[in-house]
Amino acid sequence: MKALTKAEEQIMQILWDLKEAYVKDVLERMDDPKPAYNTVSTFIRILETKGFVKHRPIGKSHQYYPIVTKDEYRSFSIRRLLSGYFGGSFTKMASFFAKEENLDVKEIERIMEEVKKDVK
Amino acid sequence: MKALTKAEEQIMQILWDLKEAYVKDVLERMDDPKPAYNTVSTFIRILETKGFVKHRPIGKSHQYYPIVTKDEYRSFSIRRLLSGYFGGSFTKMASFFAKEENLDVKEIERIMEEVKKDVK
DNA sequence: AATATACTATTAAATAATTAGTAAAACCTA
DNA sequence: TAGGTTTTACTAATTATTTAATAGTATATT
């Protein structure tokens, strides 16, 4: 999987959110100052050539939808961070975060309880 | 703090590792195919204008050293990932990771013990 | 001193990413 | 059906990033 550029990522975030969308739907959700319609259209087509997005023709128009899921990209992003900055170890990252946030043992335990509940 | 580009980051990783280095030291640690001496030199000077690096003149030469620490950049990177993909919540990221790796409760607890030990 | 060496500074060239204009096709409406 | 609207496809322009050549300066070597 290839990393997304900043502008590409912005648009993927919207597509992940909407599940499927026309160019105009994506444009609508973009922050001001909104880019030109064609800017969005171009990026979506780039995302399509990169294999992140596909479309189905609806009348004369295209409805776009993500084929790389947000979870897949999440996973890719965590892995990249872990391997670049924490020797590939999630434990190291968690320790780093805990120290940085001055979490005490109680708080760490609360987080882990939450995780355990969630994993079940 | 501004994000590093890929090439800049590569060089910062080496500088963080070496703590202080001449251009040639950085070049030495780079993977083959090694770039030109001047390519490295240029990037280090870009890093200096971005405020990531400083130098002390040693004779006619410059010895470079990081002024943004690896920990500071680590922290910045985690935060960016959390805010973009986990609603800013470390717990969410941990849950996601645990599910993805199929960690069972035992393993989660082992990680937590490690973190607790480390935080003390 | 002349020549080679090691380095920095300046600049240019190549490539990648971002933005959007223009043209053409498809559709809608009076 | 002529004129306006919406949309895609193609292309150009701009800016950011990456790479390195060239030139200049100081030091070492013979």
Is A48 a domain residue? yes
Q: Which residues pair with B21 in a beta bridge?
A: B64
Q: Looking at residue B101, what is its pLDDT? A: 95
Residues of B in contact with A112 (CB under 8 A): 94, 108-109, 111-112
Give the pair of three-digit tokens for residue B44.
């280090």
Same domain, A23 and A62: yes
Q: Do B115 and A94 touch (CB under 8 A)?
A: yes
Same domain, B111 and B62: no
Q: Is B89 left (phi over 0), alpha (psi -120 to 50) or beta?
A: beta
The span from the CA of B68 to the CA of B83, in Å, is: 22
pLDDT category, B26, cuts 50, 70, 90? very high
Mean pLDDT of chain A: 93
Is B114 a domain residue? yes
Provide the domain count of chain B. Answer: 2
Is B77 a domain residue? no
Residue B90 contacts A, CB cutoff 8 Å: yes
The ipTM of this complex is: 0.85
Q: Looking at residue A103, what is its pLDDT? A: 95
Q: Decide: A54 and A67 in contact? Cβ < 8 Å.
A: yes
- Per-residue pLDDT tens over the stretch A72-98: 999 999 999 999 999 999 999 999 999
From A84's Cα to the closest Cα of chain B, the distance in A is: 9
The DSSP result for B40-97, as a single string, is: HHHHHHHHHHTTSEEEEEETTEEEEEESS-HHHHHHHHHHHHHHHHSTT-HHHHHHHH
Same domain, A95 and A51: no
Of the candidates A27, A81, A103, the one whose C-alpha atom is nearest the C-alpha of residue B77 is: A81
Is A114 a domain residue? yes
Peptide bond into B33 cis (omega under 30): yes
Is B97 a domain residue? yes
Same domain, B52 and B95: no
Residue A78 contacts B, CB cutoff 8 Å: yes
Q: Do A99 and B118 touch (CB under 8 A)?
A: yes
pTM listed for this prediction: 0.89
Same domain, B52 and B99: no
Is A111 a domain residue? yes
Structural domain that includes position B27: 6-66
Same domain, A18 and A55: yes
Q: What is the CATH number of the domain that holds B14?
A: 1.10.10.10
Residue A19 contacts B, CB cutoff 8 Å: no
